[in-house]
Chain A
Amino acid sequence: MKIGLDLGSRYVKAVFMEDGRLVDYRCYDTLAFYREYGRKVDGELVVDYERLGWPTGAAITSTGYGRNLVKLAGGQVIPELRAHTRGAIFQTGLSDFTLLDLGGQDSKVIKVAGGRMVDFRTNDKCAASSGRYLENMAAVLAMDVAALGECRDEPVELSSTCAVFGESELIGQIIEGHPIEHLAAGVNRTIVKRVEPMLRELYSPVVVFTGGVARNQAIRAMLEDALPVQVILPAYPQLNGAIGCAV
C-alpha cells in the first residue's frame, strides 16, 4: 500500500494505492487537517495516522504547497510539479502533452515531452485564474460553482486583471442588466484569457486539464475554441498531485 498526499492550499488530498490501482481516497479541509490531525515536533509535522484511520505501515509520499512549510515525519517529499507531471502521465497514459492545473489558489502549466517535464509556468502572486476566483464570482452571481461551469454562451466582456477588482466589475455589469448566464460565461472566459498565453507558449496539441477548475465544462469547451487543442480530463482531476506521489 502506498499513500500519496497532496498538501494543497485549500484541501489536503490523500490517495491510497495498491499495485498501481487507486483503492481509496480522502479530502480534508487544509486548516482542519493541520488542526485536528497534525502537530509539530522538532519542526516536522507529525500526522496522527491512527486518528485519520489510515492503514498503518504504508509508505507515504507527500507534495504540495505545504511541502514548503512542513516536512512530514517518516515520509518522503517530492517537488510539487514533479508530482503533477507523474500523476498526469499515470492517469492518461500519455507522454507528450501540456498539463494545465488550476487549483484552489494557483495555476500551473507544465509542458511534458517524452514523459519528462521540460518547461513550466505558474502564476505569480495572483489568484485570478483559480478556483477561489470562481467561487467568489459565483457567490456574487448567487449561483453555485457547478451551475456557473455550464455557462458558455455570449460571454460578457470582463477585464481579467484581478480577482478582487473582478468582483466590483461584475457587480457593475449586473447593474447594466446583462443576463446572469452571460455574465457567468464572461467569468469563465476571463480564466481562459489568462491561461491562453501560457498554453500558447508551452503548446502541445493535447492539454491534460486537472485541479478543481477542470470540472468546469464551459472552460474546457472555451479552451478548445480558443486554441487548436484537444482537452483531456483525467478520471480524478483533483487527485492528480496525490496520485503522482503514490505511483
Chain B
Amino acid sequence: MADKIGLTTTIPVEIVYAAGKIPVDLNNLFITCDAPGRLVDRAEQAGYPRNICGWIKGLYTTLLEQESLRQVIAVTQGDCSNTHALMETWQVAGVAVIPFAFPYDRDADLLRLQMEKLMQLLGADWEAVGRWKKRLDQVRKKAHEIDRLTWEAGVVDGQTNHLALVGCSDFNGDPDAYEAYLDGIIAEAARNSTQGLAGDRQAVRLAYVGVPPIVSDLYSYVESMGARVVFNEVQRQFAMPFDEDDIIEQYRRYTYPYSIFDRIDDINREVARRRVDGIIHYTQSFCYRQIEDIILRQRTAVPVLTLEGDRPGPLDARSRMRIDAFLDMLAR
C-alpha cells in the first residue's frame, strides 16, 4: 500500500498524488472522528496551553494517534504561525515534517520553487503533476457543480456543500471514490429538483466566511432557523474554483494563504453574485484572523455576524442567541 502523508491544510496536492502517495488532511480526520474534544484534551495534557486554537491542538493529537502517518507536510507560511511550534512538537515525537510556504506576496517564482522542492523531496516530476492536475480538475468540476446547485438551483443544502468542498483538500485520499461521492450528491440533487424540493426561496441567504467551523451543528442550526448557507468561502477555495490550466497560477489565485484583501475581493464578488443577505464570519478563539475581522467588516456590503468557536461540540447558547438575533434582523 502507498505511503500516507499528512497535511496541515491545503497544499498543491497534485504533487503528493504524482509521487504515488496518499494525502491525508489532518483537519478532516480530526473533526470527523468520534470524539474530537478528547483529542484537544490530550494536547492540553501534553502541555499545549489553554489559550491556543483548538484546531492546532486537535491536529497535534490526530497525527500522533495515527500509526500509519509518520510524515506530514506543514504549511509554514500562508496559514498559521502556530503551525511552527506544532511542527516542532511533532518532530520531538519522531514525525518527519516537510515545510511548505505560500509566498505572502504571491510571487510566482517563489511558489514554483516551493513546489519543485516538494516534488524533488517526494519524488514527482512535472509530467506526472500535470497529469494529476487534469484528473483532479475533473473531480473539482463536480464540486463546482454542487456549489452551483447550492446557490443557483437551491437543491443542495449548506452542510452538504461544505462537506463536498472541504474534502477537496485531499480528496479523501482516493479521488475516484471521492468523485463517486460527489456524483451521488449531484444525483440526489437532481431528484430533489424534479420533485420540486428546492429550498425555500424566501429564506435568508447567508455566506459563511472564514476557516471551517470547529462546532458541529452550525449548518443544521442555521438551516433549522429558516436560513440557507449559499456560500462557503474557504471551503470553495479548497476546491480551486478557477478555470486555470497553469498549476502555478492556480495556486496563486487560490486566496486562502494570501492577504485578507484578496479574500475580501472574492467574498464581495460571490456575495453579489449569490444574492447574499448577510455574512457569518467564523473565527477561532485566539486566532489572528480575529484581527482581520476588523477589515472584513469595513469592506463588505452586507451585515456581518462574527461568531467565535473554541472547542469541538455543539454551538453554545450565546452563539445561538446571536444567530437568532442576526437572522431576525435580516429577515425584517
Give A contacts to B, CB under 8 Å: 65, 67-69, 79-82, 106, 116-120, 122, 124-125
Contacts and interface: CB of A to CB of B under 8 A. Distances in A.
Dominant SS among interface residues on chain B: helix
B308 A81 contact: no
B332 A116 contact: yes
A82 B330 CA distance: 12
B324 A79 contact: yes
Q: Which of B285, B308, B328, B332 has the most CB of A within 10 A?
A: B328
A68 B328 contact: no
Contacts of B332: 116-117
B321 A67 contact: yes
Interface string B32-48: 00000000000000000
B318 A122 contact: yes
Given A67-B324, A122-B318, A125-B318, 12 more contacts: A65-B321, A68-B317, A68-B324, A79-B321, A79-B328, A117-B332, A119-B303, A120-B329, A122-B321, A124-B308, A125-B308, A125-B310
Given A80-B324, A124-B308, A125-B308, A118 B329 contact: yes
Contact of A120 (B317, B318, B320, B325): B325
B166 to A, nearest CB: 25
A65 B308 CA distance: 18
Nearest to B315: A68
B146 to A, nearest CB: 32
B289 to A, nearest CB: 14
Interface residues of B, number: 16
A117 B317 CA distance: 21
Interface string B215-226: 000000000000
Q: Which of A65, A82, A122, A124 has the most CB of B within 10 A?
A: A124
A215 to B, nearest CB: 24
A117 B328 CA distance: 9
B318 A82 contact: no
Interface in B297-330: 303, 308, 310, 316-318, 320-322, 324-326, 328-329
Contact of B329 (A65, A69, A117, A124): A117
A147 to B, nearest CB: 31
Contact of A124 (B318, B320, B326, B328): B318
A68 B325 contact: no
Contacts of A69: 317
B232 to A, nearest CB: 22
Nearest to A106: B318
Contacts of A120: 325-326, 329
A140 B320 CA distance: 33
Contacts of B324: 67-68, 79-81
B299 to A, nearest CB: 15
17 contacts: A68-B317, A69-B317, A79-B321, A80-B325, A81-B325, A116-B332, A117-B328, A117-B329, A118-B303, A118-B329, A119-B303, A119-B329, A120-B325, A124-B318, A125-B285, A125-B310, A125-B316
